[in-house]
Amino acid sequence: MTVLELCSASRRFPRVQALDRVDLAVRPGEVHALLGENGAGKSTAIRILAGLDHPDPGEVRLDGRAVRFASRTDALRHGIGLVPQTESLVGELTLAENLALAEPHRVVRRRAASRRLREAATTVGVAVDPDVRTRDLGRGQRQLAELVLALAQDARVLLLDEPTAALGPYETRDMFTRLRALAAAGVAVLFITHRLAEVRAVADTVTVLAHGRVAWSGAGSDVDDATLIRTMVGDLPDTPTREPRTAIGAPVLRLAAVSADCGDPIHDLSLDVHAGEVVGVLGVAGNGQRALAEVAAGRVRPAGGTRTETGSVAYVPETRLDGLLPGRAVRWSAVVSRLREPRFARRGVVDRGAVTRFATDLLARHDVRPPDPGLPVLTLSGGNQQKLLVGRELDNGPAAAVLHGPTQGLDVRSAKEILSEIARAAAGGTGVLLVSADPGEVREVADRVVVLSGGRVVGEFPAADFDDALVRRLTAGGDE
Amino acid sequence: MVTEFLVFALVGTLNAATPLVLAGLGEVVLERSGAGFNLGIEGTMLAGALAGVLGSAAAGPWAGLAAGTTAGLCFGALHAAGLLAGVDTVLVGIVLTVLGTGLTTYLSQVLNPPGQPALGAPTLPVLGGSVGAGSVLAVGLTATTWWMLRGTRFGLRLRACGDDADIATTRGIPVRRQRVVAALVAGAFAGLAGAVLALASIGTFVPLMTGGRGFIALAVVIVARRTALGVVGGALFFAVFDALALLAQTYDLGLPVEAYQALPYLVTLILLCLEGQRRVRPKETP
């Protein structure tokens, strides 16, 4: 008995086949996990089911009949609710008002809306106050509120795109209890995750997507963890044999018992980075990475503890355009962090020629293409923007460098180039702190690995001990 | 003497507050839709004032109010066109104000030569006395706007657009359409405000007669934190000083008349500085 299904659905985007003849079926009363790496096609599949995109070719079937939803609202009218990865509640409005937004009545029926939300909340056993501005709810509460909202709109299929990405362990467990309750009430639940532990905790059925294809599908009880991981990530490439760096020197950046907020807090965190060393920071996103990077880079003063640096500290922030001047010519981004140097100014007036010469040289050294210092930064591809930023920051051999997700969203080639830049900087004596979501790249370039969870360092080991078993434990979310 | 002064002060305050309330309400609607702010209120009010005077001379005071509103609606349509074309909100506003100022100054010389008999504003009987229809309308429209923003789906959608346009779009709300409607409403309110201003005070049109009230209306909305009810409070507050400036011409209030005339603008400046202080106060953690 299937409610909603994808039948041999394909979807191609420029340069990538997001889905390739995918079959996927959700049934009432069942929690179905859609598992896969980043870019495996999970979000595309859910977007299609929710009416935000269309298969080409292929079809969506509802109760066995082919359908084509005009929009998310149209899909919702057919009982298909989506809890997207990014929030979709209007923060200024209460939950009841958020419900009223989507209703056919021109005059708000506040009391009726509140009552329906309370009923829906009871079904899943959540205590959500429908009359509080949703902005004032906690992150976990908002996530549950989205779920209740979909339910109050009579959703019989619920699609959740990484519902636990922003949640802590306690909230995650709570979310799973609600999903089970929903299934028990006869709702079909499909949720995206890339954590194996979550599949084990809540799913009846598992579908693994890899490179846009269904790599495995069936009951969760029929398969062991090792098989799931293998189908999900493929065979992990061998660790490149790398000489351990011998020239590791004195600490260049020390964090002693620092605490900071930044919306993603760290507590009592101590960490040293030595000259010539690459320290990789791993962990599930949202566990303090942002605060750690900002504090280490010296952009945010810690609320407690001390930070010591011995020289200049370079910083590549998580959002690359934060470190560049997006609308202006590349030459200005190339020098913006060192315009004070005397060579760029003559009696307080910027020497345009010197800036251009320096920028041209920098672009050539770091292989930024096209190597034209006059082009606006925004016309460069993401990979070249990142090479420009990383190149500028690492170019003059800083004492320490903090890089937050420097290869995020880049294609394999650009990512490799960034990693070799990092390795080169370390060989030149820079102490590097690499905050990353990708165990693969950390393994490739780091000397030492720290694992971050809940804003604390929960594990630290030399990169030599960093083997597949550990990758598995991290991927599976077993680091909590 | 004292009683008489107080009565004049009270009436003067109400009269001065009415155009500010009307223009402010429109601005609240516009700002809550996330369509920026309207620097063109001043020009729109002038257009409303001239149209109000012309309409009133031709077909009576009520027609005057209708004509002012219509003129404002036309300016609102220009504003909406600017929004749709993606023109910077500051530019659109400045254009509207320059246009309204120039056009009304020119047209008033052609169509409404000085020396015409003064016209009156429509009045409504309230509690045995007669009250300017503008003030009654202002009270009614305040209540309507307040209810529209929190009690109708249109109002909720408007606020959703102002809160986060991306989220509003994913929720299936036509953001551009909402904002166009908001710009039209804002224009109509400002036009009505202009007509009330002209008809209820001197009963004729004088170039530049708004004297910056369109900009004070913007200040009122800032102080009112963009709420309909707040606009009434803010407008009354500013109007007290406006009324004082007027009374200073009749009564000897100790200081030179010019000092009182500068007062409303001075108070605006001080209040905006205080409001700005509140906004930039640094948070505990960055």
Domains located in chain A, CATH noted: 4-233 (3.40.50.300), 250-476 (3.40.50.300)
The token duo for A57 is 């070719």
A61: which strand partners? A5, A66
Whether residue A216 contacts residue A207, with contact meaning beta carbons closer than 8 Å, is answered with yes
Min Cα distance A81 → chain B (Å) is 12
Which chain A residues in 214-273 lie under 8 Å from chain B, judged by CB atoms? 260-262
- Name the residue with tokens 């020390």: A254
| Beta-carbon contacts of residue A45 (< 8 Å; ≥ 6 apart) | A6, A9, A19, A22, A24, A34, A209
CA distance A74 to chain B (A): 9
pLDDT of residue A393: 92
CA distance B88 to chain A (A): 17
Which of A84, A93, A107 minimises the CB distance to B159? A93
The C-alpha atoms of residue A446 and residue A277 are separated, in whole angstroms, by 8
Examine the pLDDT at A241 and tell me if it is beyond 50.
no
- Give the pLDDT confidence of A245-272 residue by residue, as tens digits: 666 788 999 999 999 887 778 889 999 9
Burial of A298 (0-12, 13-18, 19+ CB in 10 A): middle
Cβ contact, residue pair A92, B152, below 8 Å: no
| A139: its two tokens | 């992150």
**8 A C-beta contact, residue A281 and residue A402:** no
Q: Would you state the structure tokens that stand for residue A357, as one six-digit string?
A: 């010469």
Domains and CATH numbers, chain B: 1-280 (1.10.3470.10)
E strands, A75-201, are 80-83, 157-160, 188-193
Residue B126 pLDDT grade (very low, low, confident, very high; cuts 50, 70, 90): low
CA distances from B182 to A88, B25, B44 (A): 23, 11, 15
Is the CB of A106 less than 8 angstroms away from the CB of B154? Answer: yes
The Cα A396–Cα A47 span in angstroms is 45
Contact (CB<8Å) A87/B167: yes
3-state secondary structure of A315: strand
Per-range mean pLDDT, top range of A55-64, A401-410, B67-76: B67-76
Query: Is B156 an 8 Å CB contact of chain A?
Result: yes
pLDDT of residue A480: 39
Nearest to A101 among B151, B157, B285 (CB): B157
Tell me whether A92 touches chain B (CB under 8 Å). yes
Per the CB < 8 A criterion, the answer to whether B64 and B195 are in contact is yes
For A345-364, what is the mean pLDDT? 89
Chain mean pLDDT for chain A: 84
List, in order, residues 6 or more apart from B281 with CB less than 8 Å away: none
Backbone angles phi and psi of B122, in degrees to 5:
-65, 145
Smallest CA–CA distance from A92 into chain B, residue: B163
ipTM exceeding cut-off 0.90 for this assembly: no
Largest Cα–Cα separation, chain A: 79
Asked if A7 contacts A58 with a C-beta cutoff of 8 angstroms, the reply is: yes
Residue B282 near chain A (CB below 8 Å): no
Take residue A389 and report the two structure tokens written for it.
């930023």
Q: List residues bridging with A158 in a β-sheet.
A: A81, A189
B/e letters for B91-127, b = 16+ CB within 10 Å, e = fewer, are: ebbebbbebbbebbeebbeeebeeeeeebebbbeeee
Q: How confident is the model at residue B285 (pLDDT cuts 50, 70, 90)?
A: very low
The pLDDT value recorded for residue A272 is 92
Which candidate from B151, B162, B163 shows the least CB-CB separation from A108?
B151
Q: Find, in chain B, the residue whose alpha carbon is nearest to that of A52.
A: B170
DSSP-assigned letters across all residues of A209-248: EETTEEEEEEEGGG--HHHHHHHHH-SPPPPPP-PPP---
Taking every pair of Cα atoms in chain B, the longest distance, rounded to a whole number of angstroms, is 64
Average pLDDT over residues A392-411: 86
Contact B285 A303 (CB under 8 A): yes
Minimal CA separation from B214 to chain A, in Å: 28
Cross-strand partners of B124: B131
Cβ contacts of B251 within 8 Å, gap of 6 or more: B5
Q: How far is B164 from chain A (nearest CA, A)?
A: 7
DSSP class of A91 = T
Residues of B within 8 A of A301 (CB-CB) are 286
Residue B90 has pLDDT above 90, yes or no: yes
Contact yes or no for A108 and B153 at CB 8 A:
yes
Mean pLDDT (whole number) for A369-383: 84
CA distance B51 to B57: 10
Contact between A90 and B172 using a beta-carbon 8 Å cutoff: no
**B225 and chain A in contact, CB less than 8 A:** no
Distances (CA, A) of B52 to A215, B108, B181: 73, 12, 23
pLDDT above 70 covers what percent of chain A? 91
Residue pair A279/A271 in contact by the 8 Å Cβ criterion: yes
